[in-house]
Amino acid sequence: MRIIGQDDIPASEITPREVYLKRRQFMAGIAALAVSPAFAAAAPPVRGARLAGVKPGRFSTREAQTPYESVTTYNNFYEFGTGKFDPAENAHTLKTRPWTVSVEGEIKRPRLYDIDELLKLAPLEERVYRLRCVEGWSMVIPWVGFPLAELIRRVEPSGNARFVEFHTLHDPAQMPFQRSSVLDWPYVEGLRIDEANHPLTLLAVGLYGEVLPRQNGAPVRLVVPWKYGFKSAKSIVKIRFVEKPPLTAWMRAAPNEYGFFSNVNPKVDHPRWSQAKERRIGEFFKRDTLMFNGYADQVAHLYRGLDLRKFF
Ligand code: MTE
């Protein structure tokens, strides 16, 4: 991702970027490989509470799941730092209770949901999805959550609700890196209403059958598996239905690099790197990136007739 106009330069950025990224990649490889029983015994990760009544859901891949240790230690969550290992180290300052999610805008039933009420809104499902980060790495993660469509149905969008905006918590006391100007906070993302209603789109509250760790976006986050990972906003406090396309945090930061759709597309490169291949965390050789991250059968129809080079 890109760091723009910052007055607060992290040490990681003082190292030449290439060297820094290579070192991080190398360390990620070590982290991903270091899941032998001996290592696990030496440093057991603190695990979350188990979520009850989770049923297997649709669309799960049978591909090997990325180990819990990698899923929860190699993260992007800029509110807690720009280094991959920063969120796991720093996110303990996030308070996930009390927590509310305001659902508002062009809907008939605006409502402030308490997180524990939201958790009971619909049956919890496990969905094993591929997550492809725009930076070129990918994981396979067993999420727990329910389709966002379940919430949308209950709040009854009006005819003007053409897009949905997602806002992350904005509280520098809990999210220390919001004191930097890496992004224009809060982190905002958006979907077209048909994308938001798509059965693949999840509101996730857990992973590996357990309550979502803070570094992965507790207590509730979005998961949109056919788009680059940055669309999947973490620690959501507001879901707003709007008429016009939302200006997302990344579009605001670098409009030439990050488009609104951000569908995974091996044929449309990011201006600074190719998107043709990816490194699955824990694997040595790169693999080909798949159109719509392998979910083309489910979602390609949403974009029929759209020039995906122009609407990237
Ligand atoms: N959400 C917030 N609020 N802040 C972030 O920095 N990073 C995004 C996305 N959601 C981000 C965010 C990016 S770039 C990716 S790849 C995914 O979260 C990573 O999710 P994971 O750490 O659970 O794998």
- On whether residue 105 sits in a domain, the answer given is yes
Q: Specify the residue for token string 């049978």.
A: 62
Closest Cα partner for 77 from 278, 214, 255? 214
- On whether residue 308 sits in a domain, the answer given is no
Predicted TM-score (pTM) of the model is: 0.88
> Per-residue confidence of the chain (312 residues) as pLDDT tens digits?
755 443 333 444 434 334 444 444 444 444 444 443 334 444 556 789 999 999 999 999 999 999 999 999 999 999 999 999 999 999 999 999 999 999 999 999 999 999 999 999 999 999 999 999 999 999 999 999 999 999 999 999 999 999 999 999 999 999 999 999 999 999 999 999 999 999 999 999 999 999 999 999 999 999 999 999 999 999 999 999 999 999 999 999 999 999 999 999 999 999 999 999 999 999 999 999 999 999 999 999 999 999 999 999
Domain count, the chain: 1
Cross-strand partners of 149: none
Q: Whose CA is nearest to atom 11 of ligand 1?
A: 77
Annotate 246-301 with DSSP letters as a single string.
P--HHHHH-TTT--SS-B--TTS-BTTB--SEEEETT-SS-EEPPGGGGTHHHHGG
Sheet harboring 111-114: ordered strands across? 111-114, 100-105, 236-242, 163-168, 188-192
Q: What is the CATH number of the domain that holds 114?
A: 3.90.420.10
Q: Residue 43, exposed/middle/buried by CB under 10 A (0-12, 13-18, 19+)? A: exposed
Distance 270 CA to ligand 1 centre (A): 18
- On whether residue 221 sits in a domain, the answer given is yes
C-beta neighbour count of 276 within 10 angstroms:
14
Q: Whose CA is nearest to atom 9 of ligand 1?
A: 230
- On whether residue 312 sits in a domain, the answer given is no
- On whether residue 84 sits in a domain, the answer given is yes
- On whether residue 77 sits in a domain, the answer given is yes
Closest Cα partner for 28 from 74, 66, 72, 64? 74
Residues contacting ligand 1 via CB (< 6 Å): 1, 75-79, 131, 133, 168, 187, 216-217, 229-230, 232-235
- On whether residue 43 sits in a domain, the answer given is yes
Report which ligand 1 atom has the smallest distance to the Cα of 78.
Answer: 6
Q: Containing domain of residue 287, as a range?
A: 11-49+60-303
Mutate to test the pocket of ligand 1, among 74, 175, 234 (most ligand atoms within 8 A of CB): 234
